[in-house]
Amino acid sequence: MKSPYDGVAIVGAYNTVQAKQLPNWTESGLVLDAIRGALGDAGLTPADVDGVNVSTWVSQLSSRTVCQWFGGRPSWTGTSHPGIESVLEAAAAIQSGQAHTVVIATAQCGEYTERESTVSWTRPENEFVECWGLYTAAEFALMAQRHMHIYGTPREAFSEVAAAIRSNGALNPDAVFYGRECSPAEVENSRMVADPFRLLDCCITSEGGAAMVLTSTERAKDLDVKPIYVLGGGLDRQGMSYVTAPVWEKYGWVGRRAAEMTFEQCGLSTRDVDFAEFYDPFSFEIIRQLEAFGFCKEGEGADFVLEGRIRIDGDLPVATNGGILSYSHAGVVQLLQKPLNAVLQLQGRLAPEITLHQPKVALATNGGSGALFCDVMALGSEPV
Amino acid sequence: MSDSTPATGRPQTPLPQPTELSKPYWEACREGRLTVQRCKSCDGYVFIPQPCCGTCLSEDLEWVKSSGKGTLYSFTTVYRPQQPTFEVPYTVIVVELEEGYYMLSNLIGVEPDEIKIGTPLEVFFEERSEEISLPFFRVRAE
| pLDDT tens digits, one per residue of A153-183 | 999 999 999 999 999 999 999 999 999 999 9
Same domain, A357 and A290: yes
Predicted pLDDT at A116: 72
Q: Would you say the C-alpha torsion A140, A130, B97, B58 has a positive or negative sign?
A: negative
Same domain, A195 and A264: yes
The reply to whether A144 and A13 lie within a common domain is no
Segments of chain A assigned E as strands: 8-15, 51-54, 76-77, 101-108, 192-194, 197-198, 208-216, 228-234, 275-277, 361-366, 375-380
Indicate whether A144 and A285 sit together in one domain: yes
Tell me if residue A167 falls in helix, strand or coil: helix
Q: What is the pLDDT of residue A239?
A: 82
State which residues form the domain around A326.
125-201+229-380
Residues A139 and A268 in one domain: yes
Give the pLDDT band of residue A118 (cuts 50, 70, 90): confident
Structure confidence by residue, pLDDT tens digits, A11-53 = 999 999 999 999 999 999 999 999 999 999 999 999 999 999 9
pLDDT at B10: 47
**Closest approach of B84 to chain A, Cα-based (Å):** 6
| pLDDT per position as a tens digit, A218-230 | 999 999 999 999 9
User: How many CA atoms lie within 13 Å of B93's alpha carbon, on the beta-carbon side?
Assistant: 30
d(CA B43, CA A37): 57
Same domain, A74 and A134: no
Q: Is the pLDDT of residue A292 over 50?
A: yes
Q: Do A192 and B82 touch (CB under 8 A)?
A: no
Average pLDDT over residues A327-335: 96
Residues A310 and A258 in one domain: yes
- The CA R_g of chain B, rounded to the nearest whole Å, is 16
Shared domain for A242 and A331, answered yes or no, is: yes
pLDDT at A111 (0 to 100): 80
The pLDDT score that the predictor gives to residue A374 is 97
Grade residue A115 by pLDDT with cuts at 50, 70 and 90. Answer: low
**Per-residue pLDDT, A158:** 98
CB contact (8 A) between residue A132 and residue B104: yes
φ/ψ region of A207 (left if φ > 0, alpha if ψ in -120 to 50, else beta) reads: beta
Which residues, 6 or more positions from A166, have their beta carbon under 8 angstroms from its beta carbon?
Answer: A177, A180, A181, A182, A187, A200, A322, A325, A326
Nearest CA in chain A to B87: A133
Of A55-59, A200-204, A295-299, least confident by mean pLDDT is A55-59
Same domain, A109 and A157: no
A244 chain-B contacts, CB cut-off 8 A = 47-48, 102
* Option in A131, A146, A149 nearest B13 (CB): A131
B18, B77, B83: residue with CB nearest A127:
B18
Give the start-to-end residue ranges of the domains of chain B. Answer: 23-139
Of A129, A145, A193, the CB nearest to B80: A193
pLDDT digits (tens, 9 = 90+) for A253-273: 999 999 999 999 999 999 999
Domain contains A288: yes
- State whether A172 and A252 are in the same domain: yes
Nearest to A329 by CA among A134, A116, A136, A160: A136
Question: In this structure, is residue A312 part of a structural domain?
Answer: yes
Which CATH number fits the domain that encloses residue A62?
Answer: 3.40.47.10
Q: How close is the nearest chain B Cα to the Cα of A193, in Å?
A: 5
Last residue of a domain, which of A175, A192, A220? A220
Mean pLDDT by 10 residues, chain B (142 residues): 45 88 97 97 93 94 98 97 93 97 97 97 96 97 84
Q: What is the pLDDT of residue B8?
A: 53
What local confidence, expressed as pLDDT, does residue A321 receive?
Answer: 98
Residue A9: pLDDT above 90? yes
Residue A68 Rama label (left phi>0; alpha psi -120 to 50; beta): alpha
The pLDDT, as a whole number, for residue B3 is 40
The angle that helices A283-292 and A155-170 make with each other, rounded to 10 degrees, is 100
DSSP state of A81: P
Q: Give the model's pLDDT for residue B5.
A: 45
Mean pLDDT score, A52-73: 95
Phi then psi for residue A46, to 5 deg, are -55, -30
Lowest mean pLDDT among A34-48, A83-97, A108-122, A341-355: A108-122
Are residue A233 and residue A214 in the same domain, yes or no? no
Please report the pLDDT score of residue B2 as a whole number: 36
Q: How many domains does chain A have?
A: 2
Q: Is residue B137 a contact partner of residue B124, using CB atoms and an 8 Å limit? A: yes
Across the interface, of A127, A143, A195, the residue whose CB is closest to B17 is A127
The residues, any chain, with a CB within 8 Å of residue A115's CB and separated by 6 or more, are none
Q: Which residue of chain A comes nearest to B47, CA vs CA?
A: A244
Asked if A177 and A160 sit in the same domain, the reply is yes
The rounded mean pLDDT for chain A is 96
Q: Rg (Cα) of chain A, in Å, rounded?
A: 19
Q: How far apart are CA A66 and CA A275, in angstroms?
A: 34
The β-bridge relationship of strands B90-97 and B69-78 is antiparallel
Which residues in chain A are contacts of B17 at CB distance < 8 A?
Answer: 127
